Structure 1
Amino acid sequence: MSGDQDEVRHAYGDNMGWRLKGYSKRRSGAPVSEREISRQQFLMIRPFFDAEDNPWLVDLNEVVPAIRPCIEHVLGPLDPDEDYYVTGHPLDWDKDPVQVARDVLDAKYPLARAAFLGGSVASGTYTANSDLDMIVIVDDLPGAFRETLRHRGWPVELFCHTIESFWDFVARDIEGRRPPLLNMCAEGFLMLDADGTGQRIRSEARARLDAGPPPATVTELEDRRYGTTDLLEDLIGARDEDERLFVAARLLTCAGELALVVQNRWLGHGKWLLRRLRDAKEDELVDSYRALVRGEGAERFIAVVEAVLVSAGGRMEAGYRRAAPQR
């Protein structure tokens, strides 16, 4: 059960309330019964049902005799003359990021084919400073675009694409070894899937993410070795403490990326570079940099960067040459 709770924590947060509604099987109309259930009750019954397409509703019409005792043990007796549904509703509407993201879709892109919510909201680690990172797939866009806006007090980062533009951008991301779109689709929350497009994108994104980036070419590896070597020499020769800090910051990024390229892993900017390095077990690079910043000397950091260079084929200095691009 704990795995299911982890999986849905972003969509079924503490801000959600839950209602069990019963509808007459004999006639259509309003619910004939309705009562509140707890979040824990909802999490206990959810694994028995397919709620992926609409995580705010569980259709208890799917209750088969084999699982009925389990459901009634959690919810109490169910009237055989009623069809039951469990629906979610925000207790404090504007504080629920998933519901706010849904409202963005309803307001701006009601005819979207698919939409994903990624970032810290999707992972359940969001804070008061988090924004809503959304990918929206729409048929009739004149062109792909990125837009920043505010909705119900939340900052929103929209990445709007057609199917074609989405995969074009993914190809560029893969070539650059940075897969933000793939991450959002493979690991984020599929908010909308009007025609199966969302599931197809999610499956393909997961496959491409798992396949990893393309192997480094000789030219790329030499360029990265040269850049790292050059900065390392600047660090070794630095006599000004402030210069040393600035050079070391840049060297951390270059050496970190080189270490990841050697292992044929994805890259990332900012916090994502740190996460990639941790996943690759390159903690020593970060630890030695932290020691330098604390004033404990640059020797340890220099030694770790040297080791990264050795793993990539050694320093690249004399003999390095690149022709200027054609103009």
Structure 2
Amino acid sequence: MSGDDVRHAYGDNMGWRLKGYAKRRSGPPVSVREISRAQFLEIRPLFDAEDNPWLVDLHEVGPDIWHRVEQVLGPLDPGQDYYVTGYPLDWDKDPVQVARDLIDERYPLATAAFLGGSVAAGNYTANSDLDIIVIVDDLPCAFRETLEHRGWPVELFCHTIESFQDFVARDIQDRRPPLLHMCAEGFLMLDADGTGQRMRAEARALLDIGPPIPTATELEDRRYGATDLLEDLIGARDDDERLFVAARLLTCAGELALVVQNKWLGHGKWLLRRLREAKADELVDAYRALVRGEGAEWFIEVVEHVLTSAGGRMEVGYRREASPR
């Protein structure tokens, strides 16, 4: 990651801290010191964390990399887990520390905690929230809670291991596993007994396997929905109606394109990101042209291509029997 990339993502006012945490214990850092942008950029290429451009996790590195890191940062204590985190100098809040403080305050006996979302991805803004998964052994029931902590909006997902696995199984069937992505790609803030590492490894394995193979019924339903909206778009004479139909069709056809490739889905901005990952974002380009008033022809053409890849339009003669009551 170049200095220009850092400035582009965060502005010129970016600082970096080296934080050390006591191994296998939650709580605030036991050591903190500032490092320079040059030091961060020198060690950053040593770590495989493309989805986390502003954070470096030092506690899993081998001896060879550890030696190279110490050459840049100076001696490190083997009794600490180190992280390098970026923070905007003009903000009074470090999102990772805020998330850690929340876990320490509310769930001191948690066994694992992950920070996901835009903060973990490194593209957060002043309006971002903290998406946090917490694993608590004796939790009466799983829950999701929206709250505020030290000025940050928080989306908290509290689970036992069993409830987490149940939710993940349902998410996989739905092709949208946000909890898996948070575990696999987020920041492991707490791992009291190895639970967090196991969850991360399992999440990465499940994401690599991919979603279930689509059934013929699912493909028919998605083709039917896209065909219906496409006909509405082609026949639209009102400009405002055209925009509303096209917006719905963008989602419908985008999901169909991903299902055909057997890729994971996502809601909102995450659907866009999944399309980009699958090299299927021509839909977005064509939709943008329609919104700019350049006509619907390109968008219609791209949707037709998606439908063809899925087996074509659902034309006259299609019939679906209702299930017996």
Larger-gyration structure (1/2) = 1
Secondary structure of the residue aligned to 1:235 is helix
Cα pair distance change 1:71/1:236, threshold 3 Å: closer
Runs of 4+ in structure 1 off by over 2 angstroms are: 13-20, 34-48, 55-58, 70-76, 82-94, 317-327
Cα pair distance change 1:319/1:102, threshold 3 Å: same
Q: Is the 8 A contact 2:16 2:34 kept in 1?
A: no
Cα pair distance change 1:258/1:37, threshold 3 Å: closer
* Structure 1 vs Structure 2 CA RMSD: 3.8
- Correspondence for 1:272: 270
CA distance in 2, matches of 1:185, 1:230: 37
Q: Establish whether residue 215 from structure 1 lines up as the match of residue 213 from structure 2.
A: yes
Deviation at 1:287, TM superposition (A): 1.1
Q: Is the 8 A contact 1:226 1:320 kept in 2?
A: no
Report the TM-score, using the length of structure 1 for normalisation.
0.78
Task: Identify the match of residue 193 of structure 1 among 191, 194, 215.
Answer: 191
- Correspondence for 2:120: 122
- Correspondence for 1:245: 243
Matching residue's letter, 1:180: P
Q: Is the 8 A contact 2:254 2:275 kept in 1?
A: yes
- Correspondence for 2:181: 183
Deviation at 1:318, TM superposition (A): 2.5
Cα pair distance change 1:84/1:227, threshold 3 Å: closer
Matching residue's letter, 2:120: A
Q: Is the 8 A contact 1:119 1:188 kept in 2?
A: yes
CA distance in 2, matches of 1:206, 1:240: 46
CA distance in 2, matches of 1:269, 1:46: 31
Matches within 5 A, 1:225-304: 225-304=223-302
| Percent identity for Structure 1 against Structure 2 | 71
Deviation at 1:67, TM superposition (A): 4.7
- Correspondence for 1:38: 35
**Tell me, which stretches of 5 or more residues in structure 1 are unaligned?**
21-30, 49-54
Report the TM-score, using the length of structure 2 for normalisation.
0.78
- Correspondence for 2:154: 156
Secondary structure of the residue aligned to 2:266 is coil
CA distance in 2, matches of 1:318, 1:278: 33
Secondary structure of the residue aligned to 2:125 is coil
Cα pair distance change 1:35/1:160, threshold 3 Å: closer
Secondary structure of the residue aligned to 2:132 is strand
Give aligned pairs, total: 295
Q: Is the 8 A contact 1:185 1:205 kept in 2?
A: yes
- Correspondence for 1:307: 305
Matches within 5 A, 1:23-62: 38-39=35-36, 43=40
Deviation at 1:325, TM superposition (A): 5.4
- Correspondence for 2:53: none
Matching residue's letter, 2:154: V
Matching residue's letter, 1:208: L
CA distance in 1, matches of 2:306, 2:72: 58
- Correspondence for 2:26: none
Cα pair distance change 1:142/1:320, threshold 3 Å: farther
Cα pair distance change 1:18/1:136, threshold 3 Å: closer
Cα pair distance change 1:103/1:35, threshold 3 Å: closer
Matches within 5 A, 1:50-199: 67=67, 71=70, 75=74, 94-199=92-197
Q: Which moved more, 1:260-269 or 1:317-326?
A: 317-326
Deviation at 1:148, TM superposition (A): 0.4
Secondary structure of the residue aligned to 1:292 is helix
Secondary structure of the residue aligned to 1:133 is strand
Cα pair distance change 1:56/1:314, threshold 3 Å: closer
CA distance in 1, matches of 2:32, 2:313: 70
CA distance in 1, matches of 2:83, 2:214: 50
Secondary structure of the residue aligned to 1:129 is coil
Deviation at 1:322, TM superposition (A): 3.4
Deviation at 1:298, TM superposition (A): 1.0
Q: Is the 8 A contact 2:43 2:72 kept in 1?
A: no
Secondary structure of the residue aligned to 1:95 is coil
- Correspondence for 1:27: none
Matching residue's letter, 1:139: D
**Deviations 1:214-273, CA, capped at 9 Å, x for gaps:** 110000000100110011111111111111111111011111111111111111111111
